[in-house]
A and B are shown apart, each in its own frame.
Chain A
Amino acid sequence: MASAKEVRRRIKSATNTKQIIKAMELTSVIKMQKAVAKNLASRSYARSANEILHSLLGDINPAEHPFLETRGHDKKLILLITSDRGLCGGLNAKAIKKALDAAKHAKEAEFVTIGRKGRDFLKAYGYKIVAEFTKLEDRPSFKDILPIIEVATGDFLSGKYDEVVLVYTDFKSTLTQEPISKKLLPFQNSVEKTNHQQDKITFEPQKAEILNSLIPRILEIKVWQALLESIASEHSARMVAMKNANESAEELISDLTLTYNQTRQAGITQEIAEISAGKMTLEG
């Protein structure tokens, strides 16, 4: 059995760690609340954008905008959103796994990483990263995602990639987050088109002009929303992870305290036994 002194040292170290965990839990609660509020506020904006996209796709020909051109699935670009920092449970590992799954179906796959964790992993395993972005999560602003979009759309338009896939973590609730992979480009029409359906929408001023500004905008909104979802997920996951860690630390401390008391008690009992034994020898 470990000595009382050693057990005491372990209790102290567990208590210190617990304090740090507690502090991290509290900061992540605040960060989570902010991120979730921002995410929820922008959700219906993103939903409206999707709705507009949906009705647009019912009305236009793939030939009318280069983002609609389907070329196959051979060369993929995968945008992977992970967090910069760890200690958030299996969040990043799950997102990375999802991205690798998406890569499996393609002959060639290259990555754009947003967040440090995904970058580090892919680099370590020798995947090809064409661009990396970090430090977006602290203060995400719409401007920050424009270079990401530029990389993705530029190489899609030049024909370097046939498909652009976005992998991020969808925020369902504080307790559940789910990695999702979504095809970003080309935009695809899910409804079968008939001639009757086409050209129903009036475009003001010009159809081509509107499509050229609206379609990239919708793409930006999609990536932006994915980023917000991922940030909200990250902070929630960290909060939960820290809460669990805090509970484990408490459990550990109470176990150690029990051991410490037992060791101490054993020591005292032994000392008493020795003293009385000594006394008996003297008296005897």
Chain B
Amino acid sequence: MQKLHLKITTPERVLVDEEAREVIVPTKSGQISILPSHTALVAEITPGEMLIRNEKEEKVALVYGGFVEVQEGSKVIILADSAEHLHELSEKEAEEARNRAETLMQEVRDDKERFADAEAELARSLIQLKLLKKHHSHRHTKLN
């Protein structure tokens, strides 16, 4: 069975460089599922959840924007502004980041640039929390 060759890079590191059965990425025009032998494609990624599927396992990662290119020959390149694995996130840290960003936004109201930074930080922590909650409850229901 043919597989995708997936590479997810960010300015800080290479997040993923491996084979996969299927990749689901959030783009401006909705979630796109990429399977082997997909046509050549370039799309803009919106912040959200990314799924990497293999026979047995499914990995979840978080992207904060960027671009995806699918080349002929089943090669997928994701140029992410920033990305994290789900297992690297912690609810406590995300909560803290959110609170920090919210207070900062109050403090630096008049400084446009710093306000935008704080706002971006807030948006980031909110996505993290959303994703964590979703997968947390998921795990929970499975146990019951």
* A and B: bona fide binding partners: yes
| A contact set with B: CB distance below 8 Å | 41-42, 44-45, 47-49, 51-52, 55-56, 59, 142, 200-205, 209-210, 213-214, 217, 221, 224
Name the B residues within 8 Å of A45 (CB-CB): 9-11, 14, 79
Min CB–CB distance A83 → chain B (angstroms): 21
Q: Which of B11, B27, B28 contacts A41 (CB 8 A)?
A: B11
Closest chain-B Cβ to A162's Cβ sits at a distance in Å of 28
Contact across chains for B43 and A42 when beta carbons are under 8 A apart: no
Q: Are B9 and A214 in contact (CB under 8 A)?
A: no
- Asked if A44 and B9 sit within 8 Å, CB to CB, the answer is yes
Contact of A55 with B28 at beta-carbon distance under 8 Å, contacts A42-B12, A48-B79, A201-B41 already known: no
Give 3 closest A-B pairs by Cβ, nearest first: A204-B43, A45-B9, A201-B40
Determine the distance from Cα of A202 to Cα of B68 in the docked complex, in whole angstroms. Answer: 12
Q: Is the CB of A51 within 8 A of B42?
A: no
The interface on chain B, measured as residues whose beta carbon lies within 8 A of the other chain's beta carbons, has a size of 23
Contacts of B72 in A (CB 8 A): 200
How many residue pairs bridge A and B at CB < 8 Å? 72
Given contacts A202-B39, A224-B11, 4 further A-B contacts (CB under 8 A): A47-B9, A203-B43, A204-B42, A213-B44
Known: A55-B71, A204-B32, A214-B67. A48 touches B77 (CB 8 A): yes
- In the complex, are the beta carbons of B28 and A205 less than 8 A apart? yes
Asked if A214 contacts B42 (CB within 8 A), the reply is yes
Most buried by A among B28, B40, B42: B42
Question: From residue 56 to 89 of chain B, which have CB atoms closer than 8 A to chain A?
Answer: 67, 69, 71-72, 77, 79
Docked-complex contact B11 and A42, CB < 8 angstroms: yes
Chain B nearest Cβ from A197, distance in angstroms: 11
Residues of A within 8 A of B7 (CB): 44, 48
